[in-house]
A and B are shown apart, each in its own frame.
Chain A
Amino acid sequence: MATTGKIRVATIWLSGCSGCHMSFLDQDELLVELAKKIQLVYGPLVDAKAFPENVDVTLVEGAVANEEQLDMLKEARGKTKILISLGDCAVTGNVTALRNAFKDGDKAVLEMAFIDTSEVNPQVPTDVPQLLKKVRPLHEVVNVDFFIPGCPPHADIITYVLTELIAGRTPNMEGRSKYG
């Protein structure tokens, strides 16, 4: 595939609801313009099995809630020039992190989901990634270059940040960012 000159963009979906990816798609016809300048190399929207090398920009949706996500994020960070926290879960932990407020919240959510509310064969699964003790926003785990808060972030803000980065400018979030 001819990729010369195009900016390599990846997206990752950690602990979030996929709403941020929906917002990315909500850029609608602007995606056509964007597609002329970027190439999506990894993420839920493309069929790629492994996180590729030499990615220019990675948009990360969701908080870090389990071991697998922690590894994924660290791998992406290592292979990406500019890593962006996309949406409130990635920026603050948001709803995903509500369990942080409770003692042994990691065990409590599993018990609630798989034992307390299960009528058939209640048991906590053991063959899935281990939950972290606390849910973390990305910047508590890896270095993050830009933050796009919002639940979900408005498509216009995603366009703004990507356009600025494509043009080689630094996005200024003052008056643009919006929690919640």
Chain B
Amino acid sequence: MSTATATLKINGVEVTVPEGNTILEAAKANGIAIPTLCYLEGLTSYGGCRLCLVEIIGSPKLFPACATPVSTGMEVVTNSDRLKDYRKMSIQMLLAERTHICSVCIADDHCELQQLANQLGVDHVTLERNWTALEIDSTHDFLVIDRNRCILCTRCIRVCDEIEGVHTLDLKLRGKDAQLIMDLDERWGNSCSCTSCRKCAKVCPVGAIYIEGEPISHTKRKDVAEFIMGRRKR
């Protein structure tokens, strides 16, 4: 054989994919949808949002499909009731963590968190909300960050580092206190490394980073993954 492959079962269906593929890639290549949020094709997997969790028969643990490589003989389940419940709980925790109010958010109708909540039937949040009042930084000429809408998926950090090659963005603090920062916690307008490339706004799945004066439908056009893959191949 010229290329090594792995044969596994996903939801009882036998599939063969190149060795080294993740479960998510294997599922996608075979038309099996797994919900994702922090994952973005072309960027390093982060495994932070826990929406792509799957079961592997024989293990009591759950595995993030975006960060788990396939192996021959593996039997994966992607859509059990248990997983649905966990996914709904993950969405609820994201909605409860910060101040998410769709009706006044720039990303309303273009928000991946909102879409997932609707798809998964999350019609209310059972947890008490945190109601954060974190700093909104609009010191940059046109890029704005509202940290109250940030879900800490780190897509912006990864695109800034891996594609733009700048690493202006990063996180400070831990857990629920974690916040996106520019340079060494400078105001965005004072950042000397930011190239104002707008990629962070384009990959933001919610309304946390946006471009002032630009229609959100334009910012969030769904060609981002293609764009990133194109950059990768250059």
Contacts and interface: CB of A to CB of B under 8 A. Distances in A.
Q: Do A and B bind each other?
A: yes
Contacts of A147: 123-124
B109 A149 contact: no
A172 B133 CA distance: 34
Interface residues of A, number: 30
Nearest to B134: A101
Given A101-B148, A102-B133, A177 B122 contact: yes
Interface stretch (A6-14, A37-45, A87-95, A113-121): A87-95
Contacts of B129: 92-93, 97, 100
B121 A101 contact: no
B191 interface: no
Interface in A85-133: 85, 88, 91-95, 97-98, 100-102
Please tell me the size bucket of the interface on B: 20 to 34
A85 B119 CA distance: 19
B169 to A, nearest CB: 24
Given A88-B103, A95-B101, A95-B104, A179 B131 contact: no
Contact of A97 (B95, B108, B124, B131): B131
Interface in B68-89: none
A175 interface: yes
Most buried by A among B109, B131, B133: B131
Nearest to A85: B124
B121 A174 contact: yes
B114 interface: yes
Nearest to A87: B103
Interface of B: 95, 99, 101-105, 108-109, 111, 114, 117-126, 128-129, 131-133, 148
Given A88-B101, A148-B123, A179-B102, 18 more contacts: A88-B102, A88-B103, A91-B123, A92-B129, A95-B104, A97-B129, A97-B131, A98-B101, A137-B124, A137-B125, A140-B128, A144-B124, A151-B103, A172-B121, A175-B118, A179-B114, A179-B118, A180-B102
